Amino acid sequence: MNPSLLAAASIGTGLMMLIAAIAALTVKKLISAIIIVGFVSLSSSVLFLLMNAPDVAITEASIGAAASTVIFLWGRGRIGGEE
Amino acid sequence: MIRSIVGLIIVLTLSAVVISVIPDLSVPVDLPRTGQYYTEHGVEDTGSVNLVTSVVVAYRGLDTLGEVVVLFSASTAVVLILTLIPVGSDPTPPSSIVALTARVLPAAVVLFGAYVITHGHLSPGGGFPGGAIVASAFLLVMLGSSSVPGSSKFLASIESLAGVTFGLLGFWGMMVFGQFLNNLVIPQGSPGKIVSAGIIPLVSLAIGAKVASELSSVFASYRNKGGEA
Protein backbone atom coordinates (compact mmCIF):
# COMPACT_ATOMS: atom_id res chain seq x y z
CA MET A 1 0.00 0.00 0.00
CA ASN A 2 1.29 3.46 -0.74
CA PRO A 3 2.78 5.19 2.32
CA SER A 4 0.69 8.37 2.40
CA LEU A 5 -2.53 6.35 2.02
CA LEU A 6 -1.32 4.09 4.85
CA ALA A 7 -0.61 7.10 7.06
CA ALA A 8 -4.01 8.59 6.27
CA ALA A 9 -5.78 5.33 7.08
CA SER A 10 -3.86 4.95 10.37
CA ILE A 11 -4.59 8.52 11.45
CA GLY A 12 -8.25 8.13 10.47
CA THR A 13 -8.59 4.92 12.47
CA GLY A 14 -6.80 6.52 15.43
CA LEU A 15 -9.12 9.54 15.42
CA MET A 16 -12.16 7.26 15.18
CA MET A 17 -10.85 5.30 18.20
CA LEU A 18 -10.29 8.53 20.15
CA ILE A 19 -13.83 9.75 19.49
CA ALA A 20 -15.31 6.36 20.33
CA ALA A 21 -13.30 6.14 23.56
CA ILE A 22 -14.56 9.57 24.69
CA ALA A 23 -18.09 8.50 23.74
CA ALA A 24 -17.69 5.35 25.86
CA LEU A 25 -16.83 7.53 28.88
CA THR A 26 -19.64 10.00 28.43
CA VAL A 27 -22.51 7.76 27.30
CA LYS A 28 -25.22 7.16 29.91
CA LYS A 29 -26.16 3.51 29.43
CA LEU A 30 -23.65 0.87 30.53
CA ILE A 31 -24.53 -1.49 27.69
CA SER A 32 -23.78 1.19 25.06
CA ALA A 33 -20.44 1.88 26.72
CA ILE A 34 -19.56 -1.84 26.55
CA ILE A 35 -20.41 -2.05 22.84
CA ILE A 36 -18.40 1.12 22.11
CA VAL A 37 -15.38 -0.32 23.97
CA GLY A 38 -15.70 -3.42 21.78
CA PHE A 39 -15.64 -1.14 18.75
CA VAL A 40 -12.48 0.57 20.04
CA SER A 41 -10.84 -2.87 20.39
CA LEU A 42 -11.81 -3.81 16.86
CA SER A 43 -10.43 -0.55 15.45
CA SER A 44 -7.19 -1.04 17.34
CA SER A 45 -6.92 -4.46 15.71
CA VAL A 46 -7.29 -2.76 12.31
CA LEU A 47 -4.59 -0.33 13.39
CA PHE A 48 -2.24 -3.22 14.28
CA LEU A 49 -2.91 -4.72 10.84
CA LEU A 50 -2.03 -1.40 9.17
CA MET A 51 1.23 -1.37 11.17
CA ASN A 52 2.19 -4.78 9.76
CA ALA A 53 1.55 -6.73 12.96
CA PRO A 54 -0.97 -9.38 11.87
CA ASP A 55 -0.15 -11.66 14.83
CA VAL A 56 -1.14 -8.97 17.32
CA ALA A 57 -4.15 -8.03 15.19
CA ILE A 58 -5.55 -11.58 15.33
CA THR A 59 -5.09 -11.75 19.10
CA GLU A 60 -6.65 -8.33 19.64
CA ALA A 61 -9.66 -9.15 17.44
CA SER A 62 -10.36 -12.49 19.13
CA ILE A 63 -9.65 -11.57 22.76
CA GLY A 64 -10.12 -7.80 22.91
CA ALA A 65 -13.08 -7.40 20.59
CA ALA A 66 -14.95 -10.68 20.99
CA ALA A 67 -14.17 -12.33 24.32
CA SER A 68 -13.82 -9.32 26.62
CA THR A 69 -16.95 -7.64 25.21
CA VAL A 70 -19.01 -10.74 25.97
CA ILE A 71 -17.43 -11.07 29.41
CA PHE A 72 -18.33 -7.43 30.16
CA LEU A 73 -21.89 -8.04 28.95
CA TRP A 74 -22.31 -11.16 31.08
CA GLY A 75 -20.67 -9.43 34.03
CA ARG A 76 -23.18 -6.61 33.66
CA GLY A 77 -25.93 -9.22 33.63
CA ARG A 78 -24.58 -10.74 36.86
CA ILE A 79 -24.32 -7.49 38.80
CA GLY A 80 -27.82 -6.74 37.56
CA GLY A 81 -28.80 -3.70 35.60
CA GLU A 82 -27.71 -0.22 34.70
CA GLU A 83 -25.00 2.21 35.92
CA MET B 1 -17.69 19.95 39.46
CA ILE B 2 -14.41 19.33 41.30
CA ARG B 3 -14.10 15.97 39.57
CA SER B 4 -14.35 17.48 36.10
CA ILE B 5 -11.87 20.26 36.97
CA VAL B 6 -9.38 17.69 38.25
CA GLY B 7 -9.99 15.56 35.14
CA LEU B 8 -9.45 18.56 32.88
CA ILE B 9 -6.19 19.41 34.68
CA ILE B 10 -4.95 15.82 34.29
CA VAL B 11 -5.85 15.77 30.58
CA LEU B 12 -4.15 19.14 29.96
CA THR B 13 -0.99 18.07 31.83
CA LEU B 14 -0.78 14.81 29.91
CA SER B 15 -1.29 16.56 26.56
CA ALA B 16 1.42 19.06 27.46
CA VAL B 17 3.78 16.13 28.20
CA VAL B 18 2.88 14.44 24.88
CA ILE B 19 3.29 17.66 22.87
CA SER B 20 6.67 18.36 24.46
CA VAL B 21 7.86 14.83 23.63
CA ILE B 22 6.64 14.66 20.00
CA PRO B 23 9.52 16.66 18.37
CA ASP B 24 12.08 14.20 19.80
CA LEU B 25 10.29 11.20 18.32
CA SER B 26 12.04 9.49 15.45
CA VAL B 27 11.31 6.31 13.59
CA PRO B 28 14.12 3.84 14.37
CA VAL B 29 15.96 2.94 11.16
CA ASP B 30 18.13 0.11 12.49
CA LEU B 31 16.80 -2.69 14.61
CA PRO B 32 18.33 -3.04 18.07
CA ARG B 33 21.02 -5.71 18.30
CA THR B 34 18.75 -8.51 19.59
CA GLY B 35 16.13 -7.80 16.94
CA GLN B 36 18.78 -7.77 14.26
CA TYR B 37 20.06 -11.16 15.43
CA TYR B 38 16.54 -12.59 15.39
CA THR B 39 15.79 -11.35 11.86
CA GLU B 40 19.11 -12.59 10.49
CA HIS B 41 19.34 -15.98 12.20
CA GLY B 42 15.73 -16.71 13.14
CA VAL B 43 14.86 -18.95 10.22
CA GLU B 44 18.07 -21.01 10.31
CA ASP B 45 18.03 -21.29 14.13
CA THR B 46 14.43 -22.39 14.56
CA GLY B 47 13.16 -23.32 11.10
CA SER B 48 10.08 -21.17 11.66
CA VAL B 49 9.22 -18.83 8.78
CA ASN B 50 7.06 -16.66 11.05
CA LEU B 51 9.64 -14.77 13.12
CA VAL B 52 7.09 -13.73 15.74
CA THR B 53 6.37 -17.38 16.53
CA SER B 54 10.07 -18.23 16.56
CA VAL B 55 10.63 -15.52 19.18
CA VAL B 56 7.53 -16.34 21.23
CA VAL B 57 7.89 -20.12 21.27
CA ALA B 58 11.57 -20.86 20.66
CA TYR B 59 13.83 -17.96 21.76
CA ARG B 60 11.60 -16.74 24.59
CA GLY B 61 9.70 -19.97 25.22
CA LEU B 62 10.28 -19.72 28.97
CA ASP B 63 8.44 -16.38 29.03
CA THR B 64 5.55 -18.02 27.20
CA LEU B 65 5.46 -20.72 29.86
CA GLY B 66 5.20 -17.96 32.46
CA GLU B 67 2.41 -16.33 30.47
CA VAL B 68 0.52 -19.63 30.38
CA VAL B 69 0.89 -19.88 34.17
CA VAL B 70 -0.49 -16.33 34.56
CA LEU B 71 -3.51 -17.20 32.40
CA PHE B 72 -4.01 -20.42 34.35
CA SER B 73 -4.07 -18.68 37.72
CA ALA B 74 -6.33 -15.91 36.41
CA SER B 75 -8.88 -18.34 34.96
CA THR B 76 -8.76 -20.50 38.11
CA ALA B 77 -9.50 -17.45 40.25
CA VAL B 78 -12.38 -16.31 38.02
CA VAL B 79 -13.96 -19.77 37.92
CA LEU B 80 -13.56 -20.18 41.69
CA ILE B 81 -15.12 -16.81 42.52
CA LEU B 82 -17.99 -17.17 40.08
CA THR B 83 -18.93 -20.70 41.16
CA LEU B 84 -18.77 -19.88 44.88
CA ILE B 85 -20.90 -16.74 44.84
CA PRO B 86 -24.53 -17.48 43.96
CA VAL B 87 -25.65 -14.49 41.92
CA GLY B 88 -27.21 -14.12 38.51
CA SER B 89 -30.26 -15.67 36.98
CA ASP B 90 -31.11 -18.13 34.26
CA PRO B 91 -29.77 -17.04 30.87
CA THR B 92 -32.39 -15.41 28.68
CA PRO B 93 -33.27 -17.52 25.64
CA PRO B 94 -31.50 -16.30 22.47
CA SER B 95 -33.26 -14.62 19.60
CA SER B 96 -33.80 -16.74 16.49
CA ILE B 97 -30.99 -14.96 14.60
CA VAL B 98 -28.44 -15.76 17.30
CA ALA B 99 -29.77 -19.31 17.65
CA LEU B 100 -29.43 -19.99 13.93
CA THR B 101 -25.95 -18.40 13.73
CA ALA B 102 -24.83 -20.43 16.72
CA ARG B 103 -25.94 -23.58 14.94
CA VAL B 104 -24.14 -22.83 11.64
CA LEU B 105 -21.00 -20.88 12.44
CA PRO B 106 -19.09 -22.71 15.24
CA ALA B 107 -17.78 -25.52 13.01
CA ALA B 108 -16.15 -23.01 10.66
CA VAL B 109 -14.76 -21.03 13.60
CA VAL B 110 -13.22 -24.16 15.15
CA LEU B 111 -11.69 -25.04 11.79
CA PHE B 112 -10.19 -21.55 11.46
CA GLY B 113 -8.86 -21.74 15.01
CA ALA B 114 -7.24 -25.11 14.31
CA TYR B 115 -5.68 -23.62 11.17
CA VAL B 116 -4.29 -20.66 13.11
CA ILE B 117 -2.86 -22.98 15.79
CA THR B 118 -1.26 -25.52 13.46
CA HIS B 119 0.15 -22.95 11.02
CA GLY B 120 1.65 -20.75 13.72
CA HIS B 121 5.18 -21.28 12.36
CA LEU B 122 4.16 -20.48 8.77
CA SER B 123 1.61 -17.66 8.90
CA PRO B 124 0.46 -15.10 11.47
CA GLY B 125 -1.06 -16.72 14.51
CA GLY B 126 -0.01 -19.41 16.92
CA GLY B 127 -1.21 -20.96 20.13
CA PHE B 128 -2.66 -17.96 21.95
CA PRO B 129 -4.80 -16.39 19.19
CA GLY B 130 -5.82 -19.79 17.83
CA GLY B 131 -6.88 -21.00 21.26
CA ALA B 132 -8.89 -17.81 21.75
CA ILE B 133 -10.64 -18.34 18.40
CA VAL B 134 -11.55 -21.94 19.31
CA ALA B 135 -12.85 -20.71 22.66
CA SER B 136 -14.98 -18.09 20.89
CA ALA B 137 -16.65 -20.92 18.95
CA PHE B 138 -17.67 -22.48 22.28
CA LEU B 139 -18.80 -19.01 23.37
CA LEU B 140 -21.07 -18.89 20.32
CA VAL B 141 -22.54 -22.29 21.20
CA MET B 142 -23.25 -21.05 24.74
CA LEU B 143 -24.86 -17.86 23.39
CA GLY B 144 -27.15 -19.90 21.17
CA SER B 145 -28.52 -22.19 23.88
CA SER B 146 -30.74 -21.30 26.78
CA SER B 147 -29.47 -24.10 29.01
CA VAL B 148 -26.70 -23.75 31.55
CA PRO B 149 -23.45 -25.66 30.98
CA GLY B 150 -22.66 -28.13 33.76
CA SER B 151 -19.23 -28.56 35.30
CA SER B 152 -16.92 -30.25 32.86
CA LYS B 153 -14.19 -32.73 33.80
CA PHE B 154 -13.29 -32.92 30.10
CA LEU B 155 -12.16 -29.27 29.89
CA ALA B 156 -10.12 -29.61 33.06
CA SER B 157 -8.36 -32.75 31.83
CA ILE B 158 -7.58 -31.17 28.40
CA GLU B 159 -6.11 -28.19 30.23
CA SER B 160 -3.93 -30.29 32.54
CA LEU B 161 -2.81 -32.53 29.68
CA ALA B 162 -1.77 -29.51 27.60
CA GLY B 163 0.14 -27.96 30.50
CA VAL B 164 1.97 -31.22 31.22
CA THR B 165 2.79 -31.56 27.50
CA PHE B 166 4.34 -28.09 27.41
CA GLY B 167 6.45 -28.88 30.48
CA LEU B 168 7.56 -32.28 29.17
CA LEU B 169 8.57 -30.81 25.79
CA GLY B 170 10.69 -28.33 27.71
CA PHE B 171 12.33 -31.03 29.81
CA TRP B 172 12.96 -33.15 26.69
CA GLY B 173 15.27 -30.41 25.40
CA MET B 174 16.86 -30.28 28.84
CA MET B 175 17.64 -34.01 28.79
CA VAL B 176 19.08 -34.04 25.25
CA PHE B 177 20.88 -30.68 24.99
CA GLY B 178 20.86 -29.46 28.58
CA GLN B 179 18.69 -26.50 27.58
CA PHE B 180 15.04 -26.01 28.57
CA LEU B 181 12.70 -25.95 25.55
CA ASN B 182 15.51 -26.59 23.07
CA ASN B 183 13.86 -26.48 19.68
CA LEU B 184 16.01 -29.00 17.84
CA VAL B 185 15.18 -32.24 19.68
CA ILE B 186 13.07 -32.96 16.60
CA PRO B 187 14.89 -32.42 13.28
CA GLN B 188 14.18 -28.94 12.02
CA GLY B 189 13.02 -29.94 8.53
CA SER B 190 12.82 -27.53 5.62
CA PRO B 191 11.38 -24.12 6.54
CA GLY B 192 7.98 -23.43 5.02
CA LYS B 193 6.63 -26.98 5.31
CA ILE B 194 3.85 -27.78 7.75
CA VAL B 195 6.03 -30.41 9.47
CA SER B 196 9.09 -28.32 10.25
CA ALA B 197 10.51 -25.98 12.88
CA GLY B 198 11.26 -28.68 15.48
CA ILE B 199 8.94 -28.67 18.48
CA ILE B 200 7.30 -25.31 17.67
CA PRO B 201 4.09 -26.87 16.20
CA LEU B 202 3.77 -29.21 19.19
CA VAL B 203 4.24 -26.37 21.68
CA SER B 204 1.70 -24.27 19.72
CA LEU B 205 -0.75 -27.15 19.90
CA ALA B 206 -0.27 -27.44 23.68
CA ILE B 207 -0.67 -23.67 24.19
CA GLY B 208 -3.72 -23.61 21.92
CA ALA B 209 -5.45 -26.46 23.77
CA LYS B 210 -4.66 -24.86 27.12
CA VAL B 211 -5.87 -21.37 26.19
CA ALA B 212 -9.02 -22.73 24.52
CA SER B 213 -10.00 -24.87 27.52
CA GLU B 214 -9.21 -22.14 30.06
CA LEU B 215 -11.19 -19.44 28.24
CA SER B 216 -14.07 -21.87 27.67
CA SER B 217 -14.27 -22.68 31.36
CA VAL B 218 -14.21 -18.94 32.17
CA PHE B 219 -17.13 -18.38 29.75
CA ALA B 220 -19.01 -21.37 31.16
CA SER B 221 -18.58 -20.08 34.71
CA TYR B 222 -20.07 -16.71 33.73
CA ARG B 223 -23.04 -18.59 32.30
CA ASN B 224 -23.58 -20.64 35.47
CA LYS B 225 -25.91 -19.49 38.17
CA GLY B 226 -23.23 -20.44 40.65
CA GLY B 227 -23.53 -21.51 44.24
CA GLU B 228 -23.22 -25.22 43.56
CA ALA B 229 -19.40 -25.31 43.89
CB-CB neighbors (< 8 A) of B128 in chain A: 59
In a domain, B42, yes or no: no
Binned at pLDDT 50, 70 and 90, residue B157 comes out as confident
Of B87, B126, B223, the CB nearest to A55: B126
B88 to chain A, closest Cα gap in Å: 5
pTM score, whole prediction: 0.80
Share of chain B above pLDDT 70, in %: 92
Binned at pLDDT 50, 70 and 90, residue B227 comes out as very low
Give the DSSP letter of residue A74.
Answer: H
Least CA distance to A78: which residue of chain B? Answer: B88
- Cβ separation B129–A54 shorter than 8 A: no
- pLDDT, residue B151, reads 65
CB-CB neighbors (< 8 A) of B52 in chain A: 55
Tell which phi-psi region holds residue B80, choosing left (phi > 0), alpha (psi between -120 and 50) or beta. alpha
- pLDDT, residue A62, reads 87
Residue B126 has pLDDT above 60, yes or no: yes
Binned at pLDDT 50, 70 and 90, residue A24 comes out as confident
Least CA distance to A77: which residue of chain B? Answer: B88
The span from the CA of B101 to the CA of B136, in Å, is 13
Lowest-confidence segment of A16-20, B33-37, B185-189, B209-213 by average pLDDT: B185-189
In a domain, B35, yes or no: no
The span from the CA of A66 to the CA of A42, in Å, is 9
Lowest-confidence segment of A31-45, B31-45, B111-125, B207-221 by average pLDDT: B31-45
Binned at pLDDT 50, 70 and 90, residue B88 comes out as low
Q: What is the mean pLDDT of residues B10-39?
A: 82
Whether B203 and B53 have beta carbons less than 8 Å apart is answered as no
- pLDDT, residue B13, reads 93
Average pLDDT, chain B: 81
Q: What is the mean pLDDT of residues B210-217?
A: 87
- Cβ separation B222–A66 shorter than 8 A: no
The span from the CA of A72 to the CA of A40, in Å, is 14
- Cβ separation A74–B222 shorter than 8 A: yes
In a domain, B22, yes or no: no
A53 to chain B, closest Cα gap in Å: 9
Q: What is the mean pLDDT of residues B16-43?
A: 80
- pLDDT, residue B228, reads 45
In a domain, B101, yes or no: yes
* A63 at interface of B, judged by CB pairs closer than 8 A: yes
Best B128, B138, B148 member to test A by mutation, with max A CBs in 10 Å, is B128
Tally of domains within chain B: 1
Of B124, B126, B222, the CB nearest to A71: B222
Average pLDDT, chain A: 85
- pLDDT, residue B111, reads 92
Binned at pLDDT 50, 70 and 90, residue A80 comes out as low
- pLDDT, residue B108, reads 92
Residue B202 has pLDDT above 60, yes or no: yes
In a domain, B5, yes or no: no
ipTM of this predicted structure: 0.80
CB-CB neighbors (< 8 A) of A77 in chain B: 88-89
- Domain region containing B122: 50-223
H-run or E-run covering B177? helix B153-177
Give the DSSP letter of residue A52.
Answer: T
